[in-house]
Amino acid sequence: MAAKENTGNAFVETIKTIVYALLIAGVFRTLFFQPFWIPSGSMKETLLIGDFLFVNKMAYGYSYASCPSIIVPRFGIQVDAKDICGVFDGDNTRLFASEPERGDVVVFRHPVSGRDYIKRLIGLPGEKVQITNGVISINGTAVELRDDGGFEEVMTRQGPQGMRPRCENGAVGEGGICVKSRQIETLPNGVSHPILNIGNQASDNTGIYTVPEGHYFFMGDNRDNSADSRLAQQAGGVGFVPFENLIGRADRIMFSSGGRSMLFFWTWRSDRFFKAIK
């Protein structure tokens, strides 16, 4: 009997260890850092498909959105942050709140779908934002732009979803070089970052957006390939994002892989490991 009892106790202890580990990991992810894998090219060249980073959740304080969402459609798993922390939703406030700064690269919950998005903060509460010929104006003053050559990448399927890049130099065959125009954009607070352009399209010329109090205006750095605040939520865009929907600030890329799987070591981008996000 002693052997069976010892085996039973060992099994119980193993289960306890797993449960404790999951609880600790859950608390760590909720309060401090959340892993985030870049699934699309909307933030090129700042962030590439396959970049892996941790989101600093302490940067702006905590709200219902700080609770993790676990969505794995392949296995029918869909646990939304509101399922766990929905009681804190609705007042657009945060605990230990700190205001984000213009130019921050922010992960936030989409106000309608609840999916996590990552974009750059452009417009602050109360400001008027407009895009004219691809140039952002904030409260009537255009941001500084300077040409900076081009961004090149190989035309091939990228990431687990196998998406192909859009190119300014027209139709490019498999293995060809896909080119986009590159500019350096400097925001009013002095934050500079690269942006990419493919060509003229509707989102390069907009009306005036007046950012409501308690909300923010976001754009992707890959300007012609980003669903962001330029497009209303009902039309598949992001619209204005409430303060409480911010999850955290992206500060540093920890790992990067350009292949369909992170296990394909020959596709690892070692030059992007531990790279600061600006």
Q: Could you tell me the two tokens for 101?
A: 């700064």
Q: Which of 44, 63, 69, 119 is catalytic?
A: 119
Residue 128 designated active-site: no
Residue 119 a catalytic site member: yes
Q: 3-class SS at 237?
A: coil
Distance in angstroms between the alpha carbons of the first and the last residue of the chain: 63
- Peptide bond preceding 99 in cis form (omega within 30 of 0): no
**What is the spatial distance between Cα 142 and Cα 145, in angstroms, rounded to a whole number?**
9
Q: What residue has token string 């905590």?
A: 62
- How would you class 135 by CB atoms within 10 Å of its CB: exposed for 0-12, middle for 13-18, buried for 19 or more? middle
Which residue out of 42, 63, 181, 256 is catalytically annotated? 42
Per DSSP, the three-state class of 92 is coil
Q: Which one, of 98, 104, 51, lies nearest residue 219 by Cα?
A: 104
**Residues annotated as part of the active site:** 42, 119
